[in-house]
Amino acid sequence: MNILGISGSLRAGSANTALLRAAASLAAEGVAVTVYHGVGDLPHFSPDLDTDPPPAPVAHLRSLLAAADAVLICTPEYAFGIPGALKNALDWCVSSGEFDRKPTAALSASPGYGGGAKGLASLLTTVGALGAAVPDGATLGIPAVRSRLDVEGARITDPETADAVRAVLDALINRAEAGR
């Protein structure tokens, strides 16, 4: 089982990227979570650039998505939505269709007490537009993330949060297995 992790944050000390790494260490045997680090390398989407073949960074992202059994996206909330860089990455997948029926989980970690709820809602709207299959139980907002996650060690320090992330992974994996 191959899960592609995509972070909406380009920040070196990102809690959302650390959460992806933490999820990788929580995943059961036989489940690999590979973190994609190319969001910041993608050109700004324009239909004029959506050529055949596409720009190399776009081809790379699309091939990783095509090869993935499932996708796990962790994103901060920026200005009540998702960061532009993540939206750009998702826009590159509209015409090519890699998200169509792809089991996808959506997480948002925030230092505030809202848990990035608006960012999460915005992410769900966008992946919904791409046709992604977001199973019940595969969305999670994590408020006050700095008290629950050791960002440098990429380790979830709060047992309830670790259980919640495990439950998201289980929902995602069950969906991916059902579609095999």
Ligand X SMILES: Cc1cc2nc3c(=O)[nH]c(=O)nc-3n(C[C@H](O)[C@H](O)[C@H](O)COP(=O)(O)O)c2cc1C
Interacting residue ranges for ligand X, rule: CB under 6 A: 9, 11, 14-16, 76-80, 110-112, 114, 116
Task: State the residue number with the nearest CB to ligand X.
Answer: 76
Whichever of 23 and 133 has its CB closer to ligand X, that residue is 23
CB of 21 to ligand X, least distance (A): 12
SS3 115: coil
Strands 155-156 and 149-150: antiparallel
CB of 48 to ligand X, least distance (A): 28
Whole-number Å distance between alpha carbons of 96 and 6 = 18
Half-sphere exposure of residue 135, counting CA atoms within 13 Å on the CB side?
A: 21
Whichever of 140 and 176 has its CB closer to ligand X, that residue is 140
Letter for the amino acid at 107? L
* Rg of the Cα atoms in the chain: 15
CB of 116 to ligand X, least distance (A): 6
Whichever of 54 and 114 has its CB closer to ligand X, that residue is 114
